[in-house]
Amino acid sequence: MMVMRLHVGILFSTRSGSADLARRLLPSTAMDIARPDIKRKKQRQMLVWSGVAVVAVAALAAIVMRLKPAAPEVDRSTIWTDTVKRGPLVRQVRSSTGVLAPREDSIELIPAQTDATVVRIRILPGAQVTPDTIIMDLTDPQLEQELLNARLALKAAQADYKSFAAQLESTLMDKKTAAAQVNADYTEDQLQAQTDKALYDLGVISGLAYQKSKSTADQLTAQHQLSQQQLDVNQKAIAVQLASQKTKIDQAQALLDLFEKQAQALEVHSTITGTLAPLAMPVQVGQHVTAGTSVAEVIQRDKLKAALQIAETQARDIQIGQPASIDTHNGVIPGHVVRIDPSVVNGTRTVDVELDGALPLGAVPQLSVDGTIDLERMTDVLYVGRPALGNEDSTLSLFKADPDGKGATRVPVKVGRASVNEIQVIEGLKEGDTVILSDMSRWDNVDRIRLE
pLDDT (tens digit per residue) in 325-364: 999 988 899 999 999 999 999 889 999 999 999 888 888 8
pLDDT tens, residue by residue, 417-444: 888 889 999 999 999 999 999 888 888 8
Task: Tell me: do 217 and 274 sit in the same domain.
Answer: no
DSSP 132-176: T-EEEEEE-HHHHHHHHHHHHHHHHHHHHHHHHHHHHHHHHHHHH
116 located within any domain: yes
Q: Which of 189, 172, 156 is closest to 238 using CA atoms?
A: 172
313 located within any domain: yes
Does the structure show a pLDDT above 60 at 68?
A: no
Does the structure show a pLDDT above 60 at 322?
A: yes
Q: What is the mean pLDDT of residues 85-108?
A: 90
How many whole angstroms separate alpha carbon 439 and alpha carbon 114? 63
Q: What is the mean pLDDT of residues 79-93?
A: 92
Task: Tell me: do 272 and 308 sit in the same domain.
Answer: no
| pLDDT at 210 (0 to 100) | 58
Q: Domain range for residue 136?
A: 105-140+266-299
Does the structure show a pLDDT above 90 at 310?
A: yes
313 vs 283 pLDDT, higher one: 283
356 located within any domain: yes
H or E stretch covering 393: none
Task: Tell me: do 90 and 113 sit in the same domain.
Answer: no
How many whole angstroms separate alpha carbon 379 and alpha carbon 376? 10
DSSP annotation of 363 reads -
Sorting pLDDT into bands at 50, 70 and 90, what band is 178? low
How many whole angstroms separate alpha carbon 13 and alpha carbon 28? 23
- Give the chain's end-to-end CA distance (angstroms, integer): 94
Q: Which residues contact 106 (CB under 8 A, 6 or more apart)?
A: 274, 299, 300, 302, 303, 304
Q: Is 425 exposed, middle or buried (0-12, 13-18, 19+ CB in 10 A)?
A: buried
pLDDT tens, residue by residue, 244-294: 888 889 999 999 999 999 999 999 999 899 999 999 889 999 999 999 999
Q: Domain count of the chain?
A: 3
51 located within any domain: no
Q: What is the dihedral of CA 129, 130, 131, 135, to 10 degrees?
A: -20
294 located within any domain: yes
Q: What is the mean pLDDT of residues 71-94?
A: 89
Asked whether 276 and 296 are in contact (CB, 8 A), the reply is yes
Q: What b/e string do you get for 146-158 counting C-beta neighbours within 10 Å, with b at 16 or more?
A: bbeebeebbeebe
| pLDDT at 120 (0 to 100) | 96
Please give the backbone phi and psi of residue 349, each rounded to the nearest 5 degrees, phi first.
Answer: -120, 145
Query: 3-state DSSP call for residue 236?
Result: helix
Asked whether 441 and 387 are in contact (CB, 8 A), the reply is no
Does the structure show a pLDDT above 90 at 370?
A: yes
Asked whether 346 and 329 are in contact (CB, 8 A), the reply is no
9 located within any domain: no
Please give the backbone phi and psi of residue 440, each rounded to the nearest 5 degrees, phi first.
Answer: -110, 25
| pLDDT at 61 (0 to 100) | 67
Task: Tell me: do 364 and 216 sit in the same domain.
Answer: no
Task: Tell me: do 250 and 279 sit in the same domain.
Answer: no
User: Any idea what the CATH number is for the domain that residue 443 is in?
Assistant: 2.40.30.170
pLDDT tens, residue by residue, 21-44: 444 444 444 444 556 667 667 777
Residue 267 CA from chain centroid, whole number: 34
User: Any idea what the CATH number is for the domain that residue 279 is in?
Assistant: 2.40.50.100
| pLDDT at 209 (0 to 100) | 64
Task: Tell me: do 97 and 136 sit in the same domain.
Answer: no
Task: Tell me: do 315 and 420 sit in the same domain.
Answer: yes
Q: Which residues contact 422 (CB under 8 A, 6 or more apart)?
A: 89, 383, 384, 385, 386
| pLDDT at 134 (0 to 100) | 95
| pLDDT at 29 (0 to 100) | 41
Task: Tell me: do 363 and 253 sit in the same domain.
Answer: no
How many whole angstroms separate alpha carbon 168 and alpha carbon 238? 6
280 located within any domain: yes
Enumerate the β-bridge partners of residue 352.
Answer: 307, 339
Task: Quote the mean pLDDT of the chain.
Answer: 82
336 vs 57 pLDDT, higher one: 336
How many whole angstroms separate alpha carbon 324 and alpha carbon 373? 4
How many whole angstroms separate alpha carbon 406 and alpha carbon 394? 28
| pLDDT at 204 (0 to 100) | 63
Strands 394-401 and 370-385: unpaired
Does the structure show a pLDDT above 80 at 73?
A: yes
Highest mean pLDDT among 65-74, 173-182, 354-363, 423-432: 423-432
Task: Tell me: do 186 and 278 sit in the same domain.
Answer: no
Using a cut of 0.95, tell me whether the model's pTM lies above it: no
Task: Tell me: do 151 and 132 sit in the same domain.
Answer: no
Q: Give percent of the chain with pLDDT exceeding 70.
A: 76
